[in-house]
Amino acid sequence: MTGVALPPEASPAGAVGRAAGDGGRSFHRVCTLDDLWAGEMAEYEVAGVKVLVVHTEDGRVTAIQPMCPHQEVPLAEGTLEGSVVTCRMHLWQVDAVTGKGINPEHAEVAIYPTRVTDGTVFVAVDGVQTRYSRP
């Protein structure tokens, strides 16, 4: 599943919000929880940056880099079990909540600041660097 961040008119709150507690980051409206159910993940473009939004089975919502840190295969083509995203190519696994590698441990992914307000998912992309690993 892929998508584009919701347009500003999709919510009366506006497209971008800044919060002092978030280092002044710009949060962009991405989707609603009705668009992405628990146990699903989808790739979205946010302010020109592709992210993978993950809604874990226990209800946590995170955004990670959309490409596997191994060989840049789209993680959206893989599987999600709990909070573990598994790449379809070589079965590398990362925890979507922490960004830490599971198999192998050095397979970390970038985490984008994410928040959910009134059922709408917001993601900040500024200042986050994609991570790549060596096999």
Q: Max Cα separation, the chain?
A: 46
CATH of the domain at 96: 2.102.10.10
Confirm whether 108 is domain-assigned: yes
In the prediction, which pLDDT does 26 show? 95
- The token pair that represents 15 in the structure block: 């497209």
By three-state DSSP, how is residue 46 classified? strand
In the prediction, which pLDDT does 132 show? 82
Number of structural domains (the chain) is 1
In what side-by-side order are the strands of the sheet with 16-18?
Answer: 16-18, 26-32, 120-123, 114-117
pLDDT, averaged per 10 consecutive residues of the chain (135 residues), comes to 51 46 82 97 97 97 96 96 97 97 95 98 94 72
Q: What number of CA atoms fall less than 13 Å from residue 25's CA on the CB side?
A: 18
> Structural domain of residue 50, as residue ranges?
2-123
Confirm whether 132 is domain-assigned: no
Confirm whether 134 is domain-assigned: no
In the prediction, which pLDDT does 69 show? 93
